[in-house]
Structure 1
Amino acid sequence: MVRSLIAGIASVLFSMPLMADTIQLNMTPGVTAVSQNVYSLHMTILYICIAIGVAVFGVMFWAIFHHRKSKGAKPASFHESTKVEIIWTLIPFIILIGMAIPATKTLIAMEDTSKSDVTILVTGSQWKWHYNYFNQDVEYYSHLATSAEQISNQRQKRDNYLLEVDYPLVLPVGQKVRFLITSQDVIHSWWVPAFAVKKDANPGFINEAWTQIDKPGIYRGQCAELCGKDHGFMPIVVIAKPQAEYDDWLQKTKITQRKAREEEQRLLDMQMSLDELMTLGEKTYTARCAMCHQANGQGIPGAFPALAGEGVSVDPKRKLEHISVVVHGKAGTAMQAFGPQLSLKELAAVITYERNAWGNNTGESVQAAEVQAIKNGQQL
């Protein structure tokens, strides 16, 4: 019986790495040197704890079984033993030191952001991420790409439900990437498990992290800090590309963003029709505004004001104020500044939509030139 018990325990211990892969309850090795070090450290400490547990409980149950009262065992009578006390103090101390040394080395490596090849400013805000590639003239927002119809169960949910974004973060393989992580409003946390990177984004502060990805692929993460009602709608998607493909993407993105800025300037001399503005405005509102002000413009009482039938949305005398609130946000409230987030065309369209949807029907349109004037500091 004893041999069977020992064989059973041994089989469980030796099969644990396989079980970790199959039952998906364990950490994953990840795709960076740091994440693999963290995984190795985790498994080493787990095995040490299992060995200690087996030894302690094995001796305990053996003693209980072989020294039970029914076998006539007599309890021993003894006093303190300095030698034993020293031994049971030194052994745990040595074990803890043995675990602390690799843990300390891993922690030091995780915090070493020096000698990076790429630096990216990561800014969290409700409920999206902004990425700014230093010295590359490339920056963009990354929003949840899952449609509202899927969220409201009006369409079938896709495989990556709530885990897909419109513009993922693109990184090169084999290069050390430094992240400067901060927040525009509340506390967020940028977390990609495959990189072993999880860093809080605190407003007014910058935290640093880094990664060096070993193989190309798509890696997903989440905001890991409760940051408001749509906290669960703030995924992170990273695409790791070989250096040549990354350089090609970076160059194409620069060209695309430069052309977009040039198009913005051309819009200043154009007049968009009300129908064109309303069509684009509805699309922009649904994607960027409906999560707070609701699809019907009724808002959420006590949290997000209604736009339907009241406020700046219906008052012709407050048109410029309406533009200013959308462009610059409103201090002391959850209203963000959408000026940096949307194009002039989108800003003009969404404000026009808000002034004419849900029965507001002001008949007024807002043009890109008016938005640009407010962005440039025109006084109301």
Structure 2
Amino acid sequence: MSVLARFAVTALSAVPAAGAWAEQSSVNLQTPVTSVATEIYDMHTLMMIICLVIFVAVFGVMFWSVFHHRKSKGAVAAHFHENTMVEIAWTVIPVLILLGMAWPATKTVISMKDTSNPDITIKATGYQWKWGYNYIKGEGEGIQFVSNMSTPQDQIQGRAAKGEHYLLEVDNPVVVPVGKKVRILLTANDVIHAWWVPALGVKQDAIPGFIRDTWFRADKEGVYRGNCAELCGKDHGFMPIEVHVLSADKYSAWVADQQGKLAATKEDPNKEWALQELVAKGEQVFAANCAACHQADGKGMPPAFPPLDGSPIVQGDKAEQIKVVMQGRDGTAMAAFGKQLSATDLAAVITYTRNAWSNQTGEAIQPAEITAALN
């Protein structure tokens, strides 16, 4: 075993087990709950120790030299030229240190990229500013939902005390079973996002037009939180991720409950809705998806977020508004909701905006019209 390898083993044996310091200190990495996160934590600890030893050695020699060879002691600078052994040493030793650091880093990166043979596959799509999830393999196949931050606006605007999980809580968390390999397929609908949950050892960019993937296998039940780690726009800081790791039995119960809800809420796309029904449903959809930018009173925040109250698009031809809501607007923060919301939700929210505030068109947009536009 090389000197560097023996040093690494000694150093790691002298520090607490992975995660122990994270539990003891609020300034360390989060406590790891996956094998990859544990490797990351151990590698972080090793690199810090190596850097600390080099720091102490270099500055120790430097300050010792300055003190013992100061002019007041009559020290005279030596005159010498090349020293082959010294030059070989200060070249070979750093190379060995870098190789010793590269080995655990390479091993961890290879582990992070091994997404083969997953038990569950979930597609995560980044939107401005929320996550859409679709379970496409495993026990929960077919489950899909959109996950929005659920921190109340009163807390965000300083009208109420901050909650325990301020800006890190969502209405629909990702739920997975403990001990199962979960593959996450990542893409984005608008700009680059990033799916980052530190305790799971996962951080991967979600890029429009591309599918990236990552994985984790949680060894411990619990709730683990993260964020979008890319500067993805105005509400970048309001795009949290929440993962619930449950026992196998609890996960099966959650799957059954979700599938029951999907079956119960499945709507006939050809149903003719009454105007007031659409307005009532649309108000809820607007609050969850549109109010953050256009405001609850429809006044918006010009110029970035134009008002909907009195808007010529909202009060004009319904086909144009349907197109804008479904496809978004290039070069603006207006997202394309055609892939995020159901035909019924789209019909409801468009109907609501056309009949709320001072907008009183009296028009009801039916789901069948949205389906026709989508096709």
Q: TM-score under structure 1 normalisation?
A: 0.85
Counterpart selection for 1:77 from 76, 79, 88? 79
1:179, distance to aligned residue in structure 2 (A) = 1.1
Q: Does 1:353 align with 2:352?
A: yes
Question: Quick check: 1:309–1:360 contact (8 Å CA) kept in 2?
Answer: yes
1:177, distance to aligned residue in structure 2 (A) = 1.0
Distance 2:41 2:159 in 1: 41
1:278, distance to aligned residue in structure 2 (A) = 3.4
Q: Which amino acid is the alignment partner of residue 39 of structure 1? A: Y
Percent identity reads 51
Q: Does 1:110 align with 2:112?
A: yes
Question: CA, structure 1 residues 330+273, in 2 after alignment: closer, same or farther (shift >3 Å)?
Answer: same
1:21, distance to aligned residue in structure 2 (A) = 5.2
1:31, distance to aligned residue in structure 2 (A) = 0.8
| Deviation by residue 1:228-286 (Cα, 9 ceiling, x = unmatched) | 1111110000001122221221222122212221xx11x74454352x44343333222
Question: Quick check: 1:285–1:350 contact (8 Å CA) kept in 2?
Answer: yes
Question: Quick check: 1:329–1:336 contact (8 Å CA) kept in 2?
Answer: yes
Distance 2:271 2:89 in 1: 85
Partner of 2:160: 155
Partner of 1:3: none
Partner of 1:9: none
Partner of 2:227: 222
Partner of 1:365: 364
1:186, distance to aligned residue in structure 2 (A) = 0.5
Distance 1:101 1:188 in 2: 30
Question: Quick check: 1:130–1:140 contact (8 Å CA) kept in 2?
Answer: yes
1:310, distance to aligned residue in structure 2 (A) = 2.8
1:128, distance to aligned residue in structure 2 (A) = 0.6
Which range moved further: 217-226 or 65-74?
65-74
Question: Quick check: 1:188–1:225 contact (8 Å CA) kept in 2?
Answer: yes
1:94, distance to aligned residue in structure 2 (A) = 1.2
SS of the residue 1:104 aligns to: helix
Question: Quick check: 1:181–1:200 contact (8 Å CA) kept in 2?
Answer: yes
Q: Which amino acid is the alignment partner of residue 43 of structure 1? A: T
Question: Quick check: 2:37–2:201 contact (8 Å CA) kept in 1?
Answer: yes
| Deviation by residue 1:301-334 (Cα, 9 ceiling, x = unmatched) | 443333212323223xx23443444345456654
1:364, distance to aligned residue in structure 2 (A) = 3.1
Question: Quick check: 2:168–2:241 contact (8 Å CA) kept in 1?
Answer: yes
1:20, distance to aligned residue in structure 2 (A) = 6.4
The gaps in structure 1 that reach 5 residues or longer are 1-13
Distance 1:255 1:21 in 2: 39
Q: Please show how residues 132-151 of structure 1 align to structure 2 within 5 Å.
A: 132-135=134-137, 136-151=141-156
The gaps in structure 2 that reach 5 residues or longer are 1-13
1:72, distance to aligned residue in structure 2 (A) = 2.8
| Deviation by residue 1:329-354 (Cα, 9 ceiling, x = unmatched) | 45665433434433455434322321
Q: Please show how residues 328-343 of structure 1 align to structure 2 within 5 Å.
A: 328-329=327-328, 334-343=333-342
Question: CA, structure 1 residues 289+222, in 2 after alignment: closer, same or farther (shift >3 Å)?
Answer: same
Partner of 2:295: 294
Question: CA, structure 1 residues 332+374, in 2 after alignment: closer, same or farther (shift >3 Å)?
Answer: farther
Q: Which amino acid is the alignment partner of residue 72 of structure 2? A: S
Question: CA, structure 1 residues 117+76, in 2 after alignment: closer, same or farther (shift >3 Å)?
Answer: same
Distance 1:154 1:243 in 2: 41
SS of the residue 2:337 aligns to: coil
1:19, distance to aligned residue in structure 2 (A) = 7.3
Distance 1:256 1:78 in 2: 82
Question: CA, structure 1 residues 331+260, in 2 after alignment: closer, same or farther (shift >3 Å)?
Answer: farther
Q: Which amino acid is the alignment partner of residue 278 of structure 1? A: V
Partner of 2:11: none
Partner of 1:254: 259
Distance 1:202 1:287 in 2: 24
Distance 2:374 2:339 in 1: 17
Q: Does 1:131 align with 2:133?
A: yes
Partner of 1:5: none
Q: Which amino acid is the alignment partner of residue 86 of structure 2? A: V
Question: CA, structure 1 residues 253+184, in 2 after alignment: closer, same or farther (shift >3 Å)?
Answer: same
1:22, distance to aligned residue in structure 2 (A) = 4.5
Partner of 2:10: none
Question: Quick check: 1:187–1:225 contact (8 Å CA) kept in 2?
Answer: yes
Distance 2:210 2:239 in 1: 20
Partner of 1:190: 195
Distance 1:335 1:54 in 2: 53
1:204, distance to aligned residue in structure 2 (A) = 0.5
Larger radius of gyration: 1
Distance 2:213 2:93 in 1: 37
Q: TM-score under structure 2 normalisation?
A: 0.86
Which range moved further: 47-56 or 337-346?
337-346
1:69, distance to aligned residue in structure 2 (A) = 2.5
Counterpart selection for 1:49 from 30, 48, 51? 51
Q: Does 1:240 align with 2:245?
A: yes
Number of aligned pairs? 357
Quote the RMSD (CA, aligned, Å). Answer: 2.6
Q: Does 1:37 align with 2:42?
A: no
Question: Quick check: 1:127–1:230 contact (8 Å CA) kept in 2?
Answer: yes
Q: Which amino acid is the alignment partner of residue 219 of structure 2? A: D
Question: Quick check: 2:23–2:31 contact (8 Å CA) kept in 1?
Answer: no
Partner of 2:370: 374
1:167, distance to aligned residue in structure 2 (A) = 0.4
